[in-house]
Structures are given as structure tokens and as C-alpha cells.
A and B are shown apart, each in its own frame.
Chain A
């Protein structure tokens, strides 16, 4: 029996069609994954099935859940099914936990209120044991590790016994290890005979889940088919582009020709909030090379970069800029592009102020905009009226106006779509090669680091930073503990 059956489901707003008719059916033990960029309509489609569309949008078509027709125009009809028949795994699930409730109670609450279990505490304990959380039952969420909190959220989401699980971007903001764990947990849904509908832009997750894949773009279905087929030999060019935009599928970049050192640090120690993060590190960055800075969250990657740029003072040691290089030639790219611009100032005004401050001739701007494929008309807008990718390119323009010798790129593409990410990264590596700019790149994505950087500096929480020479062999492989 089909668990979830959507027939020509359409989402419309006052302006027109947001999601063109899409039909899908999920049998028990199957999973379907919707993939696409931001704005492709994949989340709207899921919201239509859940009955959580905002009021100015309306859904039409047919929806059968567990063999029963459900009225799409009646939000109450769907709300009655929440928890028991259909459940949602929220984005960043650890934020969905009640911070003032112990782990067991978070799950027991669902057993008591949704399914009306006679002994919710015992049922919750059994759920937690199944996810290896039994010893954490009496802890509060803040006492759990990230992975445990995530498992707890999954336990709570599934405690109602729902057979249909909708996961909306379940790996958003996760590093690779956590992502694999989420993929495993999601697959357990289908193993137990449930039906899984996942919405993601993470192709690795889609591949790990298997099942059927629907590729959406601008609210239309581009391609559908079994996961292996769609991702391995896509028949549509858009899908092929998406697959090629995965960092591990990027073409190799030209080899580096590292020039003179632009920045050298000796015996550098970095502290933040009174805690020493990095101790006695030596490093040198050369013109034209792209250096990856990796390590788990909180290890001090951003703090190290800020210290090298002189935004914060080092706790010990020295940072030496190359001879005759002004401070303004050491620039930074931020993770969240809109946050790096004054929100109430037009972009053109901001650039004009910068150019008059440093007496940069006005005719230098248009060629830069053209090189980065930015419309001059964008400059009339404010930062919030420009897309993330365009804004990140504009911040590159802003840095390039000052003839930088070093760009510290702090996860510059983690908030961008895969296609935009590839464009921005290619641009950065090209700039390193053609203009001899040293790029220090922070990223959580090992694939991206492997493809985009010449050598890596790995920071870890316990041990001293290791400098790792990558296959291209530019690094000198120095150890860095004093």
C-alpha cells in the first residue's frame, strides 16, 4: 500500500505558479529525495504536503496519506496527522529540543501526548536505548554532545510512530562526520518500513540515501529517477551541472607558482576569551598560493586568520608583513556576505567612499565588475537586495580595489549554492594565480579543500597544528610545536 501519494501537486501564489504539478508516490520502505538550489521550490513542495504553507500560498492537486484522501485546502485535516502518521525532522534538530527538559522527558512527552501510551517513561527509555542514549536519559540538552542531541531529536520526532518522515535540509550546517551519521539515521527509517521524504541540496546525502531523486529548478521538475542513475549519468544538462559543482568533481586547477612570502608568523599563539587555542605556531604564506586551513569547529581557525590580519593582537609571537606591504593589502572575505556590508548604505556608495578614501581612480571599478560578471546596476541597491553570490563577488571586488596580497577567506562559500560556490572558488584560485595573491581558505568541506588548495594547515583540538603538504607538494612540511 502506498504510504504517501501526491498527484499533480501544485503550489500557487498571487503572482503565479511557485511549484509546477509534481506527482510522487512513496511505498513503505522507500525514500524519495528532492534536490535543487535555494528557490527551486523544494521546500514549498514539502510544506504543501505537511500543510504548513504560509497563508498567501495555496496548494492544489490530490494528496493521499496512508490510503486516505486529505484535503489540501484544509490545514486542520493535515494537522491531525502530525506526529502519528507524518512527522518532521527539523533543520538543525538540536535547536528543536526544549533546553529545560531532560532527555527522557523530551521523548516521553511525545509518547504521552501524541500516542497516549500507558507508560510513556518506559517507552521513552526503550527509544533512547535503541539509539545508544540510555545513559544520557537524565541529562539536559546542553549536557549532550552535538551528535547525541541530534539523535535525541530524531528519537523525539519518531516517538509518535509516524511512518512518513519528512526531513528538511537535515544536514544543513553539519560537518562531514555528522552528515554521515544523519544519513545512517535517516536510512533506518526506511529499514523499519517507513517512508522518507528528504529535501536537500546536498548531493552526497542524496546519494547515500538512495531511492528516487527528483531534481527541481525554478519550481519545475527537471529530472527524476533512481539515485544512482540520476547522479552518475544525468540526462539533463542542469543535473550534470549540479553534479559537476560538487567540489570533488571539480577539474584540477593549474599548479601553483609560489612567490615571495607576503606574511610570516613566528612562535604565534592565539587566545580567545582567555583560552589559548594555538600555541607557538610558525607559518608563512607566499604570493600566489592557496592554503587551506582546516579543523573542527571552535579550534581557532577564524581567530588565527584575524590575528594574521591584525584584527586581534596575538597572545604571543610575531606576525610580520612582507616588506613595504601596507596593512590595507591584507583583506578578508566573510562567511555571510550581507553581514560584511553596512546595511543602510547602497553598495555603490560604499565602494565610492572606499575609492575616495584611498584615492583610487574611478576607472578601475568598471573593469573589475566586468571581470567578476557583476552588473553595474547592482551598485544602486542595498546589500539586502542582492543575492549572496553576487554580494560575495562584490566583496571580492572591494578587496581587489586595494590590490591585496593576502585574502583570508573564512568559509566564503558555505552559505552559497553549489553552482555559485564553484564560481566563487574558481574566481579565487584564478586570482591567486594571475594576480599573485596569497589566499588562506577556511572550509569544512574536505572535498573543497582538496580541490582548491595547494597545501593545508590542519588545526586539531589536542595536538599542535600540522602543516600538511598536499599532492602538489608546495608546503615544506614543518612541524609547528614549540
Chain B
């Protein structure tokens, strides 16, 4: 329980930094000032300035906003697709079930990052590509979990009773299936969120993700890597932010099981 509490606190801190900073500071994440290049943290620039003299605090907040927003939208999409298909497969059974399982298995067989890269080539902008590509791969986990959990529930006398009493599928899902499914899904959703944040950073780090000058955690790590000797504090910032976000989500996921 303490692990989950700690995770929630860290995540809340990351969120309030990302979304609260623009409210108190008007710094532009892309405006350059070479005079300030690699200036260490000070009173007017709390987190210092990068090699092009851009405000690190504004860039960090913008990068986190980007990652967290894409992750949130992706999470909602994957959850909807996964739960809907999982419920459909376990409810109808038969060939629908077999076809969906086969489809899910084929999606897993493709490398997730490859699908994201393909989406990046097809779709007009990068956040949209992340959303589409990651949603297309990450729903499988939720689909499998939903299918397995609901399967055992559907055969239970309680669901049989509800069907005999004339209740429709929506009522049965809401009162019988969802209360069993929600606690099981919580951990997976937290880990899926983490996977999205991680995926965006990884693509940025190998320079196939978001294009400069848009601030993004992985991209910032690459940009600041050549200056690690002069400004290790600058390189450490996106690393720590990524680490803190992933740690918080993992703690939340782990706590749900205990």
C-alpha cells in the first residue's frame, strides 16, 4: 500500500510540474538565446538553459505534457478496444473468439516499434502517429486479460441467473463483469501508460520520433548528450523525469496486486 501511495505522490508531482509550470512562468520552450547557452540553474532559470539557451524548465514541462497527453489518449483508446474486443470474444465464443485471438496473436508477432514507424510515415503528424501506432499494438494485452477474466465470469451462476431473469448484456457487463475486471485491469493500464511514455522516449532517442525543435524527453537526451561533460545537470533532467514517471506508474501497478 505504501508503494502505491508513493507512486501516486510521484505521479502527482510530475503531473503538477508538467501542467502547472505554464501557469506561473511564461518562458517559451523554443525561443533561443545563445547568451544563456548551458547556463546552470539559477533564480530566474530554475533548471538552467540548454546548449541553445532555451529554458530547460519550460522544455521539460512541454516534453512531459506531450508524453503524458499522448499516453492518456492512447490509454483510453487501447482500453476501449481491448475491453470491447475481449468482452465480445469471451461472450460470443465460437469463431468470433478464434478469429479475434488469431488477430491478436498476429499483432503481437510484429515488432511494436515497426508499426509505430509505419504509422509515422503514413500519418501527417508525429503525435497522431504515436497514438495510432501504439494503440494498434498495446490493446492486445488488455484484450487477453479481459477475455480471460470475463470468460470465467460468464459461465458463473450469477451471470446465468441474470440472463434468465431477462437482463441485457449492458446490465450484466456493468453489474457482474466490470466489478471483477476493473481491479485486474488497473495494473495493466498503469503499465500500458508507462509503455507509451517509454515508447515515445525510445523513438525520440533514436531520432525517428518527434522532430526538433519540439521538446520531447528522448530527443532532449540525444541533444544534450554531447554536452554531458559541461552540463551533466542538463542531461540528467530528462533522464530523471522519465525515470520518475516510469517508477511512479510501476509502483501504482504493483500496489494494485498486493
**Hey, which bits of chain A sit against chain B, CB under 8 A?**
309, 311, 327-328, 330-332, 334, 336, 339-345, 350, 353-354, 357-358, 395, 398, 402
Contact = CB atoms under 8 A, between A and B. Distances in A.
A157 B33 CA distance: 86
A334 B175 contact: no
Contact of A328 (B165, B175, B176, B179): B165
B175 to A, nearest CB: 5
Given A340-B157, A344-B179, A398 B162 contact: no
B166 A341 contact: no
Given A328-B166, A358-B166, A353 B171 contact: yes
Interface string B154-172: 0011101111111100010
A352 to B, nearest CB: 12
Nearest to A330: B164
A350 B163 CA distance: 13
Contacts of A339: 156-158
B256 to A, nearest CB: 17
Given A334-B157, A353-B171, A342 B176 contact: yes
- Report whether over half of chain B's contact residues are helix, strand or loop; otherwise say mixed: helix
B165 A402 contact: yes
Contacts of B158: 339-343
Nearest to A337: B157
Interface of B: 156-158, 160-167, 171, 175-176, 179
Contacts of B163: 311
A332 B160 contact: yes
Nearest to B156: A339
B8 to A, nearest CB: 24
Contacts of B175: 342, 344-345, 350, 353
A407 B162 CA distance: 15
B69 to A, nearest CB: 33
Nearest to A349: B175
A395 B176 CA distance: 17
A340 B167 contact: no
B68 to A, nearest CB: 32
Given A340-B157, A342-B176, A344-B179, 17 more contacts: A311-B163, A328-B164, A330-B164, A331-B164, A332-B161, A336-B157, A339-B157, A340-B160, A342-B179, A350-B175, A353-B167, A353-B171, A357-B166, A357-B167, A357-B171, A398-B165, A402-B165
Contacts of A328: 164-166
Contacts of B179: 342-344
B39 to A, nearest CB: 57
5 shortest A-B CB distances, which residue pairs?
A340-B157, A334-B157, A339-B157, A344-B179, A328-B166
A340 B166 contact: no
Contacts of B156: 339
Contacts of B164: 309, 311, 328, 330-332
Given A342-B175, A342-B176, A311 B167 contact: no
9 contacts: A309-B164, A328-B166, A340-B160, A341-B158, A342-B158, A344-B179, A353-B171, A353-B175, A398-B165
A340 B165 contact: no
A332 to B, nearest CB: 6
B94 to A, nearest CB: 12
Highest count of chain A CB atoms <10 Å: which of B157, B160, B167, B179: B157
Nearest to B177: A342
Contacts of A398: 161, 165
A304 to B, nearest CB: 15
A265 B166 CA distance: 22
Given A328-B166, A358-B166, A340 B161 contact: yes
A395 B157 CA distance: 12
B162 to A, nearest CB: 7
Contacts of B165: 328, 331, 354, 357, 398, 402
B162 A342 contact: yes
Nearest to B172: A342
Nearest to B163: A311
Nearest to A312: B160
Nearest to B167: A357
A353 B167 CA distance: 9
A343 B161 CA distance: 13
Nearest to B168: A357
A272 to B, nearest CB: 12
A311 B191 CA distance: 38
Nearest to B179: A344
A311 B160 contact: yes
B180 to A, nearest CB: 8
A368 to B, nearest CB: 15
B152 to A, nearest CB: 12
A343 B175 CA distance: 9
A303 to B, nearest CB: 13
